[in-house]
Chains A and B, each alone.
Chain A
């Protein structure tokens, strides 16, 4: 295997890894924040360069295919905008004294480590490596969630940690089982963990063993996806951590775990005797959707509200992939991308809202479009998008999911639609209360308009996707949808 002069795959990993080390060493908030942005941007560029140029043969450890390239690009992009948002967010936190410069050094290093972990999980061609990467990303986010060192933050981190650890263990058990299934066919050793090899030979694997493996993987990685009833860590981790991390958690980490589930779904689909993973995923997706939809109503904390909304959307995505078929898979992929962009935009907005209003309690926030029009309308637009209203992109995916489901399995569409509507009602109710009405809460000056740039950039993308999907992107998605079976 010839090593090209510039290997984008390696760059996607190396840049965050190197900057993590660097950031851990460097003092000073201004410099590190800028460096963080720069490193994220470089990573993003590297990810973009993956699209150009021929792809090499899949390596033993790393590889790039149609599926993960989308994930990597999305991941690095949101990672980049989140770092931009984080810069302005962190400044405010420093000014108000919630964080110390010492915290920041740790924070930025962890940020890049997390990016490294997530990118690694995507490009890993080895299910063991993927597992390690997912766990690395998880553990770094655990540390970030506890960053504020408040009782609540530590509590949330602890909950996340314990539940995550069990998830880690179960996912590992599943990984071992996959190896066991592969080993008689592929042979001992490393080959039996290389994903590309596994898919090739999956048809001859012992289906019963694969089934068992999938159960453990679904529960293990599903915990990270935040599927009910494994979701418990998610709302608190989102609510108590720094907002950039909430954005990254919702927008990216959930995708990482989802990606892992998808990989194994493909594996299972390639084995004719195995249990169909579809019904399991459909069931879990629906349960998550409906459950989260109802949970939205009693929320008081704005970040926790959107954390539950993430559970809801993960439910939708898993449901779509569970349904399978070109249309639903396409819709699931699209929904995943749209959700990442939208939800992170919402969290950016929510971060600013919590800062200008000085509270995360929704009851204390109202009339935002009056006091902070730029922020208020951006927030509203984000909620409109996440609620699945056109012309935003989420609508397109929801349109495809619901209509294709109804054409295939009308009975499944009923809980799906009920869940969507229930969630819709809750979101509209809360968003109206926050954005409109007599202004209340703090009237702190708006942050510089430039800090809204990431929000509007995301929303513009979502809007554009709702109106027009460029043919190359559609091509990618269709290929991937085909891969997913």
Chain B
């Protein structure tokens, strides 16, 4: 059976299981059924996608659905095979996690029916081969995730998040719709093959690119269209948050890559600059937000924004290289982007799973109320640590590889023409480096405050380790992070068909390198061997530990903490998440977020406690979205008077309209 048909079968299995899920969702075993089927379907989808990617066999299928004169077209090529693999990998992990996590869900009937539908929607987006099917699936995916965000709808914040989310999703879809309208032309040629073959003006291509950037970027969380993301992603149940952050944003990236690299043709020169600048800015803004955040899941959501920024910056670079005919460099940049897509889906899912386990165990996600969880939840802590190292782009985990490839690509860019690029690229390089360093700080803070130290609340002190399904999901993702970090060559080779398809070049074959190093261009220029680095670290650490224990001392004494001789027993004296962020707030926050700290110190003798009040403003929200909302509201208020006119005034309207039309007639020649 060909790959497309198999995947569509998988999708229909997912859709089909939603039906019993509606009816049976309150039964205790319904979760097992839904997540079990989802797991099996995702694994099957993963297998098919990987086979299609590695074997390079494309296939397509047209169903007599959708737009009547086009039909619903589906197709798998290297690009969609890769993203299908990412989607189904994330889906499988989330389903495995859900098998355990889902039991703690208090409203299963609001999660179970939508969960498989959401997975199906994401698969369909990647499979679609015509504009209509693509957009239907795209919006369908948004809708299903919207329903999932509303699973805990009794909290007003979640409802608001869902509303903002859906409106932004609608906005993004509109932009994509316009992009497709532009590409399809007056004839209504909505099939991707027709769009691909059409010859169009660069100006049209560039406009389509901007629209695609707005549409897909708003879904992916590109600044300044990111505001919904930190609201909506954390509001959903954690495995859904993982899917939204780890996978759905990738589907958005897929949409962008599909349109820009495959469909529109050659856009104008400035589009690469636009992408690079937006990507770099998004990365820094996202991670700074994450650094200020005290809600663990929101922190992860903001970090998603950062990673999306990195991906888009790499895509911009690839676009610039491709426009200059440097296929090999474009392949390098594109590989970096796609590798990061895979990486982020791995570690962000892992981290959200960890946050979900913490949420289940302690009932909260405010880091200021956590602490010391490593003692109660050792396995979760270990996996979360692995994810934290990976997302901070540190060797030997996988986050570093894509970061490294991105830097290698940036180092190729002086050969690019154009003054704009020459100035933007190094600046973006600096921004990416800054974002990486800030990410490390952010995750030291996240892991340190939540898992290390002493419990700040009784709930944190009595937390229980997560169930074995959740641990299995986290463990396998952590292993995958390590595997992708130590054996990156295989991933790079698997990406070669994709880059060949999109930029007409590929990185050199990595599999036959000695010692499994990765060498982007030539060994004299750069190389990295994750496996050896990992082996060296492990070896030298264990050697030194062995030597020290053997030759020097191995005795250990437990004693109260020293703390410069003034240990204070209270757990509140620990450094808090807010305290940790304070230097960063001082450095970056005062300008970017207009952060203000105010200390109210009561005079001596006054028994009131001193207070520190902190105000952080989101510049994008306050400068762009609130004014817009206010404008809509003001306009609505103004127009609303028309609801309360007298009949005579309404008649006057009719009369004036008539006279106006008659005047038009009188003046029309």
CB pair A407 B182 closer than 8 Å: yes
CB pair A404 B170 closer than 8 Å: no
Is A297 part of the binding interface, using a Cβ–Cβ cutoff of 8 Å? yes
Checking B180, B181, B636, B668 against A298 with a beta-carbon cut-off of 8 angstroms, the contacting residue is B636
A390-B135, A390-B140 as given contacts; A163 in contact with B181, CB under 8 Å: no
Q: Please name all residues of chain B whose beta carbon is closer than 8 Å to the beta carbon of A395 when the two chains form the complex.
A: 135-136, 139
Could you tell me the distance between the alpha carbons of A425 and B188 in the complex, rounded to whole angstroms? 28
CB pair B636 A297 closer than 8 Å: yes
Could you tell me the distance between the alpha carbons of A389 and B174 in the complex, rounded to whole angstroms? 11
Binding-face segment, A62-70, A137-145, A211-219: A211-219
CB pair A297 B633 closer than 8 Å: yes
> Which chain B residue shows the least CB distance to A384?
B143
A295-B639, A295-B640 as given contacts; A403 in contact with B653, CB under 8 Å: no
Could you tell me the distance between the alpha carbons of A424 and B662 in the complex, rounded to whole angstroms? 34
Is B661 part of the binding interface, using a Cβ–Cβ cutoff of 8 Å? yes
Q: Please name all residues of chain A whose beta carbon is closer than 8 Å to the beta carbon of B567 when the two chains form the complex.
A: none
A395-B136, A407-B185 as given contacts; A425 in contact with B639, CB under 8 Å: no
> Which chain B residue shows the least CB distance to A468?
B65
Is A428 part of the binding interface, using a Cβ–Cβ cutoff of 8 Å? yes
Checking B68, B654, B665 against A166 with a beta-carbon cut-off of 8 angstroms, the contacting residue is B654
| Contacting residues of chain B (135-186) with chain A, CB-CB under 8 angstroms | 135-137, 139-140, 143, 150, 153-154, 156, 159, 162-163, 166-167, 170-171, 174, 177-178, 180-182, 184-186
Return B201 CB to nearest CB of chain A, in Å: 13
Of A166, A399, A413, the most chain B CB neighbours within 10 A belong to A399
Q: Please name all residues of chain A whose beta carbon is closer than 8 Å to the beta carbon of B67 when the two chains form the complex.
A: 396, 400
Checking B185, B651, B658 against A163 with a beta-carbon cut-off of 8 angstroms, the contacting residue is B651
Q: Please name all residues of chain A whose beta carbon is closer than 8 Å to the beta carbon of B136 when the two chains form the complex.
A: 390-391, 395, 466
CB pair A413 B159 closer than 8 Å: no
Is A421 part of the binding interface, using a Cβ–Cβ cutoff of 8 Å? yes
Of B132, B163, B177, the most chain A CB neighbours within 10 A belong to B177
Binding-face segment, B315-323, B545-553, B642-650: B642-650
CB pair B665 A433 closer than 8 Å: no
Is A408 part of the binding interface, using a Cβ–Cβ cutoff of 8 Å? yes
Could you tell me the distance between the alpha carbons of A212 and B156 in the complex, rounded to whole angstroms? 55
> Which chain A residue shows the least CB distance to B658?
A219
Return A314 CB to nearest CB of chain B, in Å: 16
Q: Please name all residues of chain A whose beta carbon is closer than 8 Å to the beta carbon of B156 when the two chains form the complex.
A: 437
Interface string of A194-220 (1 = CB under 8 A from B): 000000000000001001100110110
Return B602 CB to nearest CB of chain A, in Å: 39
CB pair A421 B167 closer than 8 Å: yes
CB pair A474 B68 closer than 8 Å: yes
Is A18 part of the binding interface, using a Cβ–Cβ cutoff of 8 Å? no
Checking A162, A396, A404 against B647 with a beta-carbon cut-off of 8 angstroms, the contacting residue is A162
A215-B662, A230-B653, A432-B159 as given contacts; A413 in contact with B178, CB under 8 Å: yes
Return A114 CB to nearest CB of chain B, in Å: 23
Could you tell me the distance between the alpha carbons of A438 and B152 in the complex, rounded to whole angstroms? 11
Is B325 part of the binding interface, using a Cβ–Cβ cutoff of 8 Å? no
Q: Please name all residues of chain A whose beta carbon is closer than 8 Å to the beta carbon of B140 when the two chains form the complex.
A: 390-391
Could you tell me the distance between the alpha carbons of A50 and B1 in the complex, rounded to whole angstroms? 45
Is A185 part of the binding interface, using a Cβ–Cβ cutoff of 8 Å? no
Interface string of A150-169 (1 = CB under 8 A from B): 00000000110011001100
Q: Please name all residues of chain A whose beta carbon is closer than 8 Å to the beta carbon of B69 when the two chains form the complex.
A: 474
Return A465 CB to nearest CB of chain B, in Å: 11
Return A138 CB to nearest CB of chain B, in Å: 15
Could you tell me the distance between the alpha carbons of A467 and B63 in the complex, rounded to whole angstroms? 11
> Which chain A residue shows the least CB distance to B143?
A389
| Contacting residues of chain B (188-216) with chain A, CB-CB under 8 angstroms | 188, 190
Is A280 part of the binding interface, using a Cβ–Cβ cutoff of 8 Å? yes
Q: Please name all residues of chain A whose beta carbon is closer than 8 Å to the beta carbon of B178 when the two chains form the complex.
A: 402-403, 406, 413, 417
Is A235 part of the binding interface, using a Cβ–Cβ cutoff of 8 Å? yes
CB pair B658 A170 closer than 8 Å: yes
Could you tell me the distance between the alpha carbons of A256 and B507 in the complex, rounded to whole angstroms? 64
Is A294 part of the binding interface, using a Cβ–Cβ cutoff of 8 Å? yes
| Contacting residues of chain A (293-337) with chain B, CB-CB under 8 angstroms | 294-298, 325, 327
Could you tell me the distance between the alpha carbons of A384 and B643 in the complex, rounded to whole angstroms? 26
Return A366 CB to nearest CB of chain B, in Å: 9
Is B637 part of the binding interface, using a Cβ–Cβ cutoff of 8 Å? yes
CB pair A396 B132 closer than 8 Å: yes
Interface string of A368-398 (1 = CB under 8 A from B): 0100000000000000100111110001100
Chain B contributes a number of interface residues (CB within 8 A of A) equal to 57
Is B635 part of the binding interface, using a Cβ–Cβ cutoff of 8 Å? yes
CB pair A403 B177 closer than 8 Å: yes
Could you tell me the distance between the alpha carbons of A474 and B171 in the complex, rounded to whole angstroms? 29
Could you tell me the distance between the alpha carbons of A436 and B166 in the complex, rounded to whole angstroms? 15
Is B66 part of the binding interface, using a Cβ–Cβ cutoff of 8 Å? yes
Return B456 CB to nearest CB of chain A, in Å: 30
Could you tell me the distance between the alpha carbons of A395 and B162 in the complex, rounded to whole angstroms? 20
CB pair A232 B163 closer than 8 Å: no
Is A53 part of the binding interface, using a Cβ–Cβ cutoff of 8 Å? no
CB pair B163 A229 closer than 8 Å: no
Checking A219, A294, A297 against B657 with a beta-carbon cut-off of 8 angstroms, the contacting residue is A219
Is B350 part of the binding interface, using a Cβ–Cβ cutoff of 8 Å? no
| Contacting residues of chain A (413-461) with chain B, CB-CB under 8 angstroms | 413, 417, 420-422, 424-425, 428-429, 432-433, 436-438
CB pair A404 B132 closer than 8 Å: no
Q: Please name all residues of chain A whose beta carbon is closer than 8 Å to the beta carbon of B645 when the two chains form the complex.
A: 232
Q: Please name all residues of chain A whose beta carbon is closer than 8 Å to the beta carbon of B154 when the two chains form the complex.
A: 367, 436-438
| Contacting residues of chain B (21-66) with chain A, CB-CB under 8 angstroms | 64-66
Is B632 part of the binding interface, using a Cβ–Cβ cutoff of 8 Å? yes
Is B131 part of the binding interface, using a Cβ–Cβ cutoff of 8 Å? yes
CB pair B68 A402 closer than 8 Å: no
CB pair B182 A229 closer than 8 Å: no
A404-B181, A436-B150 as given contacts; A232 in contact with B650, CB under 8 Å: yes
Interface string of B622-646 (1 = CB under 8 A from A): 0000000000110111011011010
Checking A230, A424, A437, A467 against B167 with a beta-carbon cut-off of 8 angstroms, the contacting residue is A424
Checking A158, A369, A407 against B181 with a beta-carbon cut-off of 8 angstroms, the contacting residue is A407
CB pair B662 A407 closer than 8 Å: no
Q: Please name all residues of chain A whose beta carbon is closer than 8 Å to the beta carbon of B632 when the two chains form the complex.
A: 294, 297, 422, 425
A219-B661, A294-B632, A294-B639 as given contacts; A413 in contact with B181, CB under 8 Å: yes
14 contacting pairs across A/B (C-beta < 8 A): A162-B647, A291-B639, A295-B643, A297-B632, A387-B170, A396-B132, A399-B177, A404-B188, A422-B632, A428-B167, A429-B163, A432-B162, A436-B159, A469-B68
4 smallest beta-carbon distances between A and B, as pairs:
A403-B181, A406-B181, A436-B153, A297-B636
Please name 20 further chain A to chain B contacts, defined as beta carbons within 8 Å, in addition to the given A295-B636, A395-B135, A407-B185, sorted by A numbering.
Answer: A208-B665, A215-B662, A215-B665, A232-B642, A232-B645, A295-B639, A297-B632, A298-B640, A298-B643, A327-B188, A388-B170, A390-B136, A396-B66, A396-B67, A399-B177, A403-B178, A403-B181, A408-B186, A417-B174, A468-B66
